Structure 1
């Protein structure tokens, strides 16, 4: 009975942590959406809110890391339970970094608006990559909530689309700057935003990889296993 009680208590504590991680995920997802909207319309007040919210995300990261550490010490999980806790810690780190990247976008949007910069169509340049990355982040959080390994596998391939879009933006922006050097400053700001968006896509992909680690016990980071498996299923 003691073992059963301990197991139930562990499950309860872990579920509490997972709920807060999903809350954190919702916070950074909103941060990203608001930051992109700031970049689109130059809303400096909203940009300030995005930057202020980053403090709340940072505090939640510290709190959740502490909760995970205490859970490991008190419950001493093993096998899949330990994988779940370790993956959750990594997800927390990626979410905090997504918040950081969203803050960079908001800060750049605020700077552009205050400087009254005109030149290239800033938002149109990043519209496609922003939409793809927003979908990737949302679906990665959904896969984590449901521990859906199949969905997570598909998301790793989706990140390739985001990476390709960033390379396209990089080439077109460089060409634009060469044709009209007067736009170099604003073009670099737009490229900085595109890179932040691409990094958010990378962090979302990481979350998907951690889901696969929990569900299947495989660490597929820095490999082509996921893409090879998706291609095999397509064939």
Structure 2
């Protein structure tokens, strides 16, 4: 089983340093992505076009970090040929970095919609839902990264539960907004932009769940993707 202490238990001090470096870089990328999501939602709610522009510009930096971390993982695999928990850690990082990059992409899409909606000068229907679901999604991303940093399986499992709630609320909001567009065709363009924002938030939740599931894989070596929450919990407990 992997934990933070196991990162410093290798005979080679350089191997210890390599593992800690790539893990730290992933968490740094995660912190930047978390801020990007927060800023994108804030830019939309506050009609802050300057902040939205900054979010879109940050996407380039996140893409560069993804490439850099991928290269680190490849170097470690080639030079150290890690096994067991070390190999799971590198695989977990290489997969998590993909989800983080995609979260960044979705935050950039939200920022793009924020720019479009700010030009209207009128807050359309759906902003309450965006604020509420956005708060939950931001918490998911934060806790998924915290679970990764601490190798905390229980926290990782709770992130999966959040994702179920977000999926339900997204579908409910979507039904209400479609009804509203049918009643007021003049609102279609504005509300469609809101729907796309909600869709991006729902996808961010999916990527945060993926990262949380990788924590379980890294710690216990159990692949819990595409399984029910109850089955996930049973698998995690049986691996201890």
TM-score w.r.t. the length of structure 1 is 0.92
Q: CA RMSD in A?
A: 1.8
Q: CA deviation at 1:155?
A: 1.2
Output the CA distance in 1 between the equivalents of 2:48 and 2:182: 30
Contact 2:96 2:211 in 1 (8 A): yes
Q: CA deviation at 1:119?
A: 6.2
Output the CA distance in 2 between the equivalents of 1:229 and 1:214: 14
CA 4–177 in structure 1, closer or farther in 2 if over 3 Å, else same: closer
CA 188–13 in structure 1, closer or farther in 2 if over 3 Å, else same: same
Contact 1:156 1:227 in 2 (8 A): no
Output the CA distance in 2 between the equivalents of 1:4 and 1:40: 49
Cα deviation digits, residues 7-33 of structure 1 (max 9, x gap): x32221011111111110010110011
Q: CA deviation at 1:227?
A: 3.2
Q: CA deviation at 1:118?
A: 3.1
Cα deviation digits, residues 128-148 of structure 1 (max 9, x gap): 111111111110000000000
Output the CA distance in 2 between the equivalents of 1:24 and 1:202: 18
Contact 2:109 2:197 in 1 (8 A): yes
Q: Provide the residue aligned with 2:41 in structure 1.
A: 36
**SS state at 1:223 partner:** coil
Contact 2:45 2:127 in 1 (8 A): yes
Cα deviation digits, residues 40-69 of structure 1 (max 9, x gap): 011111111000111000000000000000
Q: Provide the residue aligned with 2:54 in structure 1.
A: 49
**SS state at 1:64 partner:** helix
Structure 2, unpaired ranges of 5+: 1-8, 235-240
Output the CA distance in 1 between the equivalents of 2:56 and 2:126: 20
Structure 1, unpaired ranges of 5+: none
Output the CA distance in 2 between the equivalents of 1:106 and 1:131: 16
Q: CA deviation at 1:113?
A: 1.2
Contact 1:54 1:100 in 2 (8 A): yes
Output the CA distance in 1 between the equivalents of 2:123 and 2:42: 19
Count of paired positions: 227
Q: Provide the residue aligned with 1:209 in structure 2.
A: 213
- Identify which of 87, 108, 118 aligns with 1:113: 118
